[in-house]
Structure 1
Amino acid sequence: MRDAHDVYAETNPAFCSAVLVEFTKAYMSNRPEGPETPIAYLALPIALSGELAGTFDRTNKNTGLLEWLERSPQVQLGLAERVNASLAIVSDAIRFGCFTRILVIEGGTHLRLGDRKLKPSAMKALGDEPGQAVKRAGRLGHWFASAGSTRSAFDALGLTV
């Protein structure tokens, strides 16, 4: 039997908020102020991309953004279009995360973890591909935090704000 790929389920605001929570948690483990909101617009479409999933093979949180990009330059191909196509999805995820208080925006710019937590049982119930997207978001959180500034991450990816 063949499993159906449910694109809607992987782009709904609740799931995308959970992905952003993992990204934010990993980012904050290196930089407690949390990621600036614009960087979420990079992280989510990259983490959700099945097309880019293979580029995360043989990487870990210490690989770093620049080394990952050097190993996988194809990440930058069509990235601007991918980011632009996902603007509404990321915005909805941030809104949902803030509404449910699993995320907050502090100082008008920084994403932080909210006072409500995701249930571990819900995260464990994710299938393989959604679970891998969450793991990829965590790696990106570490890499983007280590990259320095939001501008540095955008520059490394060949994008401008």
Structure 2
Amino acid sequence: MQYLYLHGFASSPRSGKAQYFRDRFEELGQSLLIPDLNQGDFFHLTLSRQIAQVAALLSPGEPVTIIGSSFGGLTAAWLAEKHPQVVQLFLLAPAFEFASHWLPRLGNQYHRWQETGVLEVYHYTAERLLPLSYDFAKDLLAYDDRQLQRPVPTLIFHGLQD
């Protein structure tokens, strides 16, 4: 069994949750792969890029369990939809319907983002604002979570404030 942890949006493998899971897996003598979904290029981040990045890490024929936090949970769900070797998901406040929840909250910033092509986003690991291309929003709008139809055993932890 291959185990992956996918961090959230504007986060990294150094997040507290990622490190917590790494430590617990290490105590159990299990390997946990925690890819950096930023790929050293937060500006060009897209859901499609994350899906492709993680898909390339899947071992052919080996069953996979994915732990995903927030946007990493959304990525995990799309991976499970497209890759039958993903046999179970553990999702922490998965960012389903991310576009319909996050984009409207941007208000006028969203229109400026469309016009300029750049939005400054606070990146929790970098501890500063980083630019993000409008391609992120365009790509995200191409995904309809209602198309997630493949039955996969899934455990979801979701808090009241998530």
Point out the structure with the larger strand share: 2
Task: Please identify the structure whose Cα radius of gyration is greater.
Answer: 2
- TM-score under structure 1 normalisation? 0.30
- TM-score under structure 2 normalisation? 0.30
Which of 1 and 2 has higher RCO (CA within 8 Å, sep 6+)?
1
